[in-house]
A and B are shown apart, each in its own frame.
Chain A
Amino acid sequence: MRTHIKELRARYDLTQEDLAKMIGVRRETILFIEKGNYNPSLKLAHDIAKALQTTIDELFIFD
């Protein structure tokens, strides 16, 4: 699974730590989701999408 988190973070000028604080997870969790090494729960995916003002469909690319 790939994601657009990095691009959207850059659009809103957010670091991984900023995004992690916004949604209440550890910075490494954001890092591993971005790298495709961790599949988040539906709730976390929703929280990330909400924080980045997008939808889950637009955020995650299911290969």
Chain B
Amino acid sequence: MKGKKEIIVATVVVAGVLLTLFFYLMGTGEIELNQIGLVGIAIVLVGLAMYIIWDKISNVKKGLPEKDERTISISYKAGYYGFIAAIWSAVFTPLFFDVSSEYELKGGDVTAIVVLVSAFVFVVSYLYLYWKGK
């Protein structure tokens, strides 16, 4: 039951993110290049999250648990990698933009980049560890 509740919550979150992206894109007049990149990462993340949810649902349908000691362990590892990515991106994103372009990043931009980069690293490392088996 607990697993089913988590799946429902995750599905609602994915639907919420998709709706937010939809309204964001509808409300934005002209989309800049950096916004396309960020929205692209968000869409990839939603796709990967939907795959993870589908995998959990198919396990529950077969009568298997949606998580076990291996998936819990890889969640912790992926979370660690995501945390490291968040720290590095928070430090180096403003530096990178300072050195390489004249575009001055706003606080909100840095926050968005940090959140998206760390989430991307988390999901990619989760899937990598998931398929590698460790």
Chain B residues contacting A4 (CB-CB under 8 Å) are none
| Contact status B132-A37, CB under 8 Å | yes
Write the B43-85 contact mask toward A (1 if CB under 8 angstroms, else 0): 0000000000000000100111101111100000000000000
Partner of A37, one of B63, B65, B68, B133: B133
Total contacting residues, chain A, CB less than 8 A? 17
Of listed A27, A28, A35, A44, residue having the most chain B CB within 10 A? A28
Report yes or no: A26 in contact with B65, Cβ–Cβ below 8 A. Answer: yes
The binding surface of chain A is classed by DSSP as helix
User: Interface majority SS on B: helix, strand, loop or mixed?
Assistant: loop
- Tell me how far the C-beta of A17 lies from the nearest C-beta in chain B, rounded to whole angstroms: 7
Most chain A CB inside 10 Å of its own CB: which residue of B62, B69, B132: B69
The docked-state distance in angstroms from the alpha carbon of A37 to that of B132 is 7
Contacts of B70 in A (CB 8 A): 25-26, 28-29, 32, 38
B134: interface (CB < 8 Å):
yes
Query: What mask results when residues 1 to 32 of chain A are scored 1 for a CB within 8 Å of chain B, else 0?
Result: 00000000000000001001100111111011
Chain A residues with CB below 8 A from B65, complex form: 24-26
Taking A25-B70, A26-B71, A32-B70 as contacts, is the C-beta distance between A17 and B64 under 8 angstroms? Answer: yes
Q: How far is the CB of B43 from chain A (nearest CB, A)?
A: 27
Set B63, B68, B134: member contacting A25, Cβ < 8 A: B68
**A-contacting residues of B (Cβ < 8 Å)?**
59, 62-65, 67-71, 130, 132-134
